Structure 1
């Protein structure tokens, strides 16, 4: 199994948000569907290593708690509602990701062009629309040699052209051997993106649809 979660439990105070014994996936593209508030974002933050939890998570035999640096270096998480300091520019943010992930400048520029963000990269992020912020977060997510992509509600606020570009990128990276988990309460057109599985969180547990 490429991704393995075992004995997972996440609580906020006395409220249990996520609780299940085992969830394992082979490489592929998967859709986690469901309405807001069901725990999709919490699950993604657990997998991304961004929130404490009980249990074990490993990706391609690298354990999050035992090998946190190696684990996190293979994963990219694009949040549903990205928030960045308003005074920095789009270029400031992508250059940071480029340097941390040791990516090629040409590859980064191509991503920026594909999402139509080139004219806005020198502007302060505080002046960006919600759609521009979403596209910027997706650009950052695809920078570097990432193996597992966690895309939380990637289709909200972006235009149809950008959504088509996103699906094209997912297909290209899937051919390279990358894995994707996509959360969305919107339907994903199977003609636009072929899925290897669809799941839903109900009462804190994950069920196959």
Structure 2
């Protein structure tokens, strides 16, 4: 799969948030998207995913323009776009999400929860989770259906050092084994140095 951004522009309340962004993302690669707060990182990921509409420009998926209002196919996301039901357990939340595409069952969900270190807490209500546990749950839902595109908005937030190292290794291996496109955001380039094949810097909505 290849995703190409052509003069991608996004305006919000008369402010240009993304300014004529051009870039090609190729499968099997991990891309680091680095920038300060308000630089446009999160908006870019959500626009690629189809959660936000473009103001101008286009997104090409395998050379074909992505239609307005359509979500990117086979995508997994980590970020504030993921809304878990707080009174439901982790296992119940993932099961309900899995019913949308019906690609996996409880066996695969349980394996993913075990991998991220939540198997002992899978029957606990998500509202009782710590920030780190919620982040692990976000990672589990992003990867559980083995998507071809991963849009990971600051996925290491609230993770302890051991968990972050484990996830980085998994992300790197996943991109290669599944020939996936993976875009990972951070405020700090050094956080992504040992993970990403390519580093992209964004400032005031422009890729440098």
Q: TM-score range by the shorter chain?
A: 0.7 to 0.9
Relative to structure 1, the CA distance from residue 87 to residue 67 in structure 2 (aligned partners, 3 Å threshold; closer, same or farther) is closer
The gaps in structure 1 that reach 5 residues or longer are: none
Task: Say which structure, 1 or 2, has more relative contact order (CA 8 Å, 6+ apart).
Answer: 2
Relative to structure 1, the CA distance from residue 166 to residue 62 in structure 2 (aligned partners, 3 Å threshold; closer, same or farther) is farther
SS of the residue corresponding to residue 91 of structure 1 reads helix
SS of the residue corresponding to residue 144 of structure 1 reads coil
Cα distance per residue 1:134-176 (max 9 Å; x no partner): 1101000001130010000011101122212211221221222
Paired residues for 1:6-155 under 5 Å? 6-27=6-27, 28-54=29-55, 55-65=57-67, 68=70, 72-79=72-79, 82-101=82-101, 102-155=103-156
Paired residues for 1:149-168 under 5 Å? 149-168=150-169
Cα distance per residue 1:102-148 (max 9 Å; x no partner): 12433322221111101211111111111111110100000113001
TM-score (norm 2): 0.88
Relative to structure 1, the CA distance from residue 91 to residue 154 in structure 2 (aligned partners, 3 Å threshold; closer, same or farther) is same
Distance 1:53 1:81 in 2: 18
Kindly report structure 1 stretches of 4+ aligned residues shifted beyond 4 Å. Answer: 80-83
Q: How many residues align?
A: 203
TM-score (norm 1): 0.87
Cα distance per residue 1:5-58 (max 9 Å; x no partner): 112111111111101152222221100011111110000000110012222112
Tell me the C-alpha RMSD between the 2 structures.
2.1
The gaps in structure 2 that reach 5 residues or longer are: none
SS of the residue corresponding to residue 72 of structure 1 reads coil
**How far is 1:82 from its partner?**
4.9
